[in-house]
Amino acid sequence: MEVSSSVADSQNGAVIAVKDLTRTYLLGDVEVRALRGVSFDLRAGALLTVMGPSGSGKSTLMNLLGCLDTPDSGSYLLEGEDVGRLNDDQLARIRSQRIGFVFQTFNLLARTSARANCELPMLYAGVPIDERHERAERALEMVGLADRMDHHPNELSGGQQQRVAIARALVNDPAIILADEPTGNLDSKSGIEVIRILQGLNRNEGITVLLVSHDPFIARHTDRIIRLQDGRIVADERVPHPLVAGESQRPSELDLEEEVA
């Protein structure tokens, strides 16, 4: 029965279905079991935060979901397709076409304009040059950087750089955006701006968004929170009334602790 229900799930639009994912790193002789069996489903259009202490396996999970890495065991269905069966080129194609990745450290190419940074994924997706220009401009407009297209990363603030990175993640029309601590290197104001954009993409464009954050206030802007600890999911909860980014003040630290606890 379980099998048929998971099939039914994916037919009902489970964009991500992972089961018993494990990932162990070898550091010399030491085995680091970063993921010890992670299972969950995610419906299309979800907005989810992965929380957990440092070293709990959040980035490892995001890398597996982003097809940047392969699990040691377990299965991963992406829009019903078994990713474990794909070869290198097919995985590259998935990264190119279906997933947008946003990194904590932005990872923009230095000495390269915002526009050219945004065009990079389309280069590998075989988009013709005119369309590349047009789509990069549109994506930059969406993140509010219409007037910064020809600026290089070192001429942009951290928040602006992260917005360029989000625009870059958008240009190939992905089904999913994976953001690993996208606000980790930003001040809280820029952080909320980034969340506002991600929230907007989720609410208005229907893109599934997974983000990793330590910040409970940011997590409360999403619909669902998965908590990881020592490579396992220890909690999976709905957020009762998600905040709308920019409309509510950050409560003092104490209030937050109370509320989340």
User: Applying CB under 6 A, which residues contact ligand ADP?
Assistant: 25, 27, 32, 34, 52, 54-60
Q: Is 79 in the site for other proteins (CB under 8 A)?
A: no
CA angle 213, 35, 33 (to 5 degrees): 120
**Tell me, what DSSP letter sits at residue 156?**
S
Place of tokens 């020592």: 230
Please identify, using beta-carbon distances, which residue of 175 and 225 lies nearer to ligand ADP. Answer: 225
* Binding site partner of 25, from ligand ADP, Mg ion, other proteins, none, Cβ cut-off 5-8 A by kind: ligand ADP
CB 188 within 8 A of CB 256: no
Place of tokens 């952080």: 191
Site map for other proteins, 121-160, x if CB under 8 A? x-xxxx----------------------------------
What element of type H or E holds 121?
helix 114-125
Phi, psi of 196 (to 5 degrees): -60, -40
- Which one of 73, 107, 157, 188 is in contact with other proteins (CB under 8 A)? 107
Kindly state the tokens that stand for 62: 């995001």
Contact between 32 and other proteins (CB under 8 A)? Answer: no
7 binds other proteins (CB under 8 A): no
DSSP 22-50: EEEEEETTEEEEEEEEEEEEEETT-EEEE
Residue 211 contact, options ligand ADP, Mg ion, other proteins, none, Cβ 5-8 Å cut-off depending on partner type: none
The secondary structure element, H or E, covering residue 89 is helix 88-97
Min CB(52)–other proteins separation in Å: 19
Note whether 67 and 4 are within 8 A (CB): no
Stretch that binds other proteins, among 115-123, 202-210, 224-232, 249-257 (CB under 8 A): 115-123
Residues lying near other proteins in the complex (CB under 8 A) are found at 63, 66, 68-69, 88-89, 92-93, 95-97, 101, 103, 107, 109, 111, 120-121, 123-126, 168, 172
